[in-house]
Structures are given as structure tokens and as C-alpha cells.
Structure 1
Amino acid sequence: MFGRKQQSSSVVDTLVGSKSRVNGDLNFSGGCHIDGTVKGNVNADPETNSALSISEGGSVEGGVSVPYVVLNGIVRGDVVVSQRVELGPTARVIGNVYYNLIEMSIGAEINGKLVHQPEGQVPLLERSGNEVEPHVKAVTTG
């Protein structure tokens, strides 16, 4: 429960270097580390224990959908994480964060909504323009 950190992939299988720029979606399995810029969505295989780390100099201009993320850079888009989000003191998210577990350091910024998604529940998302919104049905009580 508290203080228990689930182990994720610590091996870097995919590296976007500080002088690299990826235009288009980045799909990976295992560990991915971003020091450069990705203009597109970053997606990990949901059936694996994949992990994404974005350094202080790294940025993603698009959505992120991974089981586990350690963020110290900037994401301009929604972040959907099925297991755990760790936001370092230099982390910036301009978009919504869908999470199961979250850890935020002092100084981290989220300019969007925090939406808790219990373990095993996959968020239903609908795209409307450039924004991703949760698919929610109206609830009435009698």
C-alpha cells in the first residue's frame, strides 16, 4: 500500500537523445528515455511493464499513454498512465493526467485535470479536436 513501489523496466531500450527530434508517433515496449523532442504521441504496449522517462530537457508535443512514467520535462497533451506517475520538480503537463497512483514533487505543474483511474480500469477517451476528454455518461438520482 503506502511506500510500496512497483518495479518497472529500468533498462532503456529506446533513447531519444538531447539533439534528436522525432516527428510522428513513437511506439515502444520496455524502457524509453527522452532527452530530446517528440512531436507526436508516445505509446507503450499496454500488455507489458513498460516505463517512460522524460528528462528535464525532454519534451513531448502530443499524448502519452504508458503503464509507468517518470516526468521531469514537458508534455503538451494528455497523459494516460495505467500504473504510476512520478512528477519531478521540473515536470510540466499542459493537459489532463489520468492516473492510478501519482507522486508529485514540489514545483511540478499540471495545467489540466487530474483524473483518478482505479487499477484495471481503462479510461474511455473521446477526441474532440486536439483535446482528449473522458467519455462520461450523465447520472441521475431519483
Structure 2
Amino acid sequence: MFGNKMTAPKTIGTLIGSGTTVEGNVSYSGGLRIDGTVKGDVRCASADACMVVVSELGHVEGEVHAAHLVVSGRITGPVHITELLELQPKARITGDVHYRAIEIHQGAVVEGRLIYQSSDKRPATLKLAAGGATSET
């Protein structure tokens, strides 16, 4: 989109099926699809691009951290996305959403703040007391 190079994985390697409830944090790599319920945080185990899909039947009660997130179900808790967030028509998020790029379809609901995360991560420049030199942090 607009020249961005999103690096979402092409396959879903992990499935939490409908009727399944996971109580505790979930750590994954690659792709994760949630058709059941997760009562805990969902986090990518590696620094590479990770994708989470929360289907219409899916529900997460906890934080979600991913590069790419597609939501058709419900998330209760804060969401932290480093690349792209897609909210489908039946999506419902109750919590703050930290995102870099977002796509919201009509009917999707966010009860919380939308917080844009710039990809421009310039280090802060501080003046040192002696000599007027600068230091980056």
C-alpha cells in the first residue's frame, strides 16, 4: 500500500480451533489463526514479520503484539501492531490500538484510543553540559 513493503507471512502455521480455550500467554512465530478463545497475551516470539488472524469466532482477552493483524472477531485489551492492522466489518476491539498502518471496514468498532506509531525513529539529541557538544540517545 502506497509503496510500503509489508512482509506478512504467506502461511498460517498455528491454529487455535473453535471451541478451544487457551488460558495463559501465547508465543508464536510466523502465522497464527485464532478461531477459539485466548485468555492471555499473544506475542510474536521472533523479530521477523508475524501475522495474527482473529476470525469471527475468535476472542482474545489480553494484549496482542504482531507485525500484521487481521481482526474479524473480538479483542479485549491493548493492541500493538508494527506494520498493518486490518479491521473487518464484524471486528470489535476494546482497548487502545497502537498501529503504523490501519484499514477499517464499515461496521468495525474500536472502543479505545487509536495511537499512530511513526516509522521514523530518530534518536533524541541532548546537549551535554560541558562544551556544548551533542549526544544521541
Question: Which category describes the TM-score, using the shorter chain as reference length?
Answer: 0.7 to 0.9
- Give the equivalent residue in structure 1 for 2:53: 53
Looking at structure 2, the residues matched to 41 and 55 of structure 1 have their Cα atoms a distance apart, in angstroms, of 17
Which one-letter code corresponds to 1:11 in the other structure?
Answer: T
| 1: CA distance, partners of 2:92 / 2:53 | 13
Instruction: State the Cα distance separating 1:4 from its structure 2 match.
Output: 5.5
Percent identity over the alignment is 39
* Aligned counterparts of 1:120 and 1:48: Cα–Cα separation in 2: 19
* TM-score where L is the length of structure 1: 0.80
After superposition, residues 1-142 of structure 1 pair within 5 angstroms as 2=2, 6-45=6-45, 47-119=47-119, 121=121
Are 1:17 and 1:36, in contact at CA under 8 Å, matched by a contact in 2? Answer: yes
Residue deviations 1:44-92, cap 9 Å, x none?
A: 1351111000000100000101111001010000000011100000000
State the match for 2:128 in structure 1: none
Letter in 2 for 1:40: G
Q: 1:88 to 1:3 in 2, by over 3 A?
A: farther
Contact persistence 1:95–1:112 (CA under 8 A):
yes
3-state secondary structure, aligned to 1:67: strand
**Structure 2: gaps of 5 or more residues:** 122-137
Q: Which is higher, the Rg of structure 1 or of structure 2?
A: 2
CA separation in 2, counterparts of 1:46 and 1:104? 27
Give 5+ residue unaligned stretches, structure 1.
122-142
Equivalenced residue count is: 121
Change (3 A) 1:86 1:41: same
Are the equivalent residues in 2 in contact too, given 1:45–1:66 (CA < 8 A)? no
- Partners of 2:55 and 2:5 lie apart in 1 by 20
SS at match of 1:102: strand
SS at 2:84 equivalent:
strand
Counterpart code for 2:15: L
